[in-house]
Structure 1
Amino acid sequence: MTDAQETAADSSLRTTGGAPPDDVETAPIPLLEPRDGIPPVIADEESLAEVIAAFAAGTGPVAVDAERASGYRYGQRAYLVQLRREGAGSALIDPVGCPDLSGLGAAIADAEWVLHAATQDLPCLREIGMIPTRIFDTELAGRLAGFPRVGLGAMVESVLGYVLEKGHSAVDWSTRPLPEPWLRYAALDVELLVDLRDALEKELDRQGKLGWALEEFDAIASAPPAPPRKDPWRRTSGMHKVRRRRQMAVVRELWNARDRIAQRRDVSPGKVLSDSAIVEAALALPANAHALSALNGYGHRMGRRQLEQWQAAIDRAKALPDVELPQPGQQLAGPPPPRSWADRDPAAAARLSAARAAVSALAETLNMPQENLITPDTVRRLCWEPPAQVSADAVASALSGYGARAWQVEQVTPVLVTALSATATA
């Protein structure tokens, strides 16, 4: 950032909370270089110790970001961690060379961590020992404040008046050494994150939503790690085409075989075998490797050995006794899909229709997405099994039991009581 750009940013933030005055047409300024230059990549314990000391001595919130290699490597591990803090500057840390960042996490544990779309980065940060106690999520803040576009680039441009170059967001961050343009991009991602946080805090406060945002941030920071997904093979793209249990067993066997290979090779499962190829084989139930080779996804580029390993998985599924075949659908912990409500329980369908309309209208009034006002699953659960006596206390208690935050309960309880009461007397 040039001196002129820095002065412009400081002035804009001081006078307007990050946005230019309404009567001034200001063209966004491209942000091309970190103000302190591209920091060196930290990949050894000695350099990491220096960064830890610097960030421990810094002041104020800590901007934190992580880059993964989604679509290239197995899993969602971090391949670069970026931080910035007043008094410490910016740091780029290589978790491959420094796989244990618990010391850094402890050094900044008492600070507020500023992240964009925190739920995406927190799992991979947790794996390397970085666990915050307080966060500020600029993406979620943007949603609650009613911004129509909440990607980091869009937020920085609309709130601070700068344009971030986003061309490297989907590259293979496991590449070593990382190219300089990628490192520049990574450093710029945390360059203005604290400035964005400060401007959004002012905007949320102006709208009377700051307390709501803080509740949301606390819920994210205190949430336990998500448990492993049950039957992940059921999420194979195109699974809706697979109707018969024997075919489902083929999907399961191929998915599990692919996952083992991908984990062993440390590559994205989609690079081993595509979802569409799995579904193709499940529907066709080929008799042998030759028949398999004629299907889409198993063409001439696939060697005989690979074809045989996939055919072996198919044959295992075909040989299973009926009692070991998967059931047609997952056991649902909550209500059935809403599309079936009209037939199964017309009264519940009427409740859901009224509740959805009420929540939609309230969300529009509050200028935020419906799913941030209250999750659709919570509304479905309430409408499928409403309290015996519809009252504000009963509805509020049910919402809290489903995990709604206090501010959500306060906002939606009146409109949901009205909706449920109206359908009960209709």
Structure 2
Amino acid sequence: MTFASLGLTEPLLHTLAELEHSAPTPVQTAVIPALLAGRDSVASAQTGSGKTAGYLLPVLQQLAASPRTLEPNTARTLVLVPTRELAQQVCTSLDTYGRDLQARGLAVYGGVSINPQMMALRPGVDVLIATPGRLLDLIEHKALRLTGVERLVLDEADRLLDLGFSDEIERILQRLPSRRQTALFSATFPSAVRALANSLLHDPVRVDIRTDAATAPGILQRAIVVDAERRTSLLYHLVRSGNWPRALVFVATRHRCEQLVAKLNRVGIHAAALHGELSQGAREHALADFKACRLLVLVATDLAARGIDIEQLPAVVNYDLPRSAIDYTHRIGRTGRAGERGCAVSFVSASTEAHFRLIEKKQGQRIEREHIAGFEPVQAAATLAPGATEGGVKGKRKSKKDKLREAAQKSEPRTGLKIRKV
């Protein structure tokens, strides 16, 4: 199979050849012809499988095939994403794939001044990549109208359709034309979200590439048993003895993120934090330094688990276990991308053993427990007080953002599409 056989035109084929993209991935093979034909689509495939190109290439070709004068403060294609970092990444990919075409793209997101984004929208854009909150801000400022949207893409659709974004997505959908092409992409589609997603689509093409990050052969998964208070010392040991040029370390909270970064830097391990309460500039700087190998360790909350593409990342560490099996899949999918090999390490303490077993059950696999010499655990699960946990267990504590959104949901009447909690 070649990109030419999928129906892509010469300008895109020329760019793909220059980028040394020799052949389409399975998800691209399945979804590109469907999108070019104007079909709605829902695609589930592992992280790093080429989903972004899978929807951007058809979008660029469709725009080139039907050029038209842009109307002020409008967009022809809307791509919704859950994070600022993913918005920037998709916009960069759009510029890369569309460099031989004339499509005008723009990424808009919070954490930065809205005024430059309002100015950039005045002449209209071909492709608008947006986080939901900032998109609604622009609409409320009368800087954007969605009446001209011809195509809607939800990237990381399962995250966009869950409780955290449901109210914002509902308000956006109410403003979109009913006649449009819609495509949903994600590495995971829980059954409840899948049923809800289907209500947004008309006679969709369904693409389900079964292999996901949790079972991908390129990712070596390890579960190391260690007492909670010794995780930091074990992380020092692994970073230094594993010869990792870089490691992405996931923690449960902003406070834990900052605390661990400070400890790493004190022992000479160059580290930085990435979480939602940093300024946009600080987030961009940390991610750029990590991608450029100027950092040895990036300590992040689940902000970095969704869609962020870091080439040749050798290791991911779950310092705190993720809240759910779905989050586990997205986290470890940051390594072992695009045919590379990677390692995903999870720290399992006595208080989190039961939660990790639940993750294993949801993934349909068992990961052998390891003991590292010098870090053998002293605590046992049976000795802990009932209900004791070490963080990261789903449902134990809501984030500040979740609490604010729930309060807004209760105070604002809901109409139109009803999106239930999943």
TM-score, normalised to structure 1, is 0.25
Rg larger in 1 or in 2? 1
Structure number having the greater helix percentage: 1
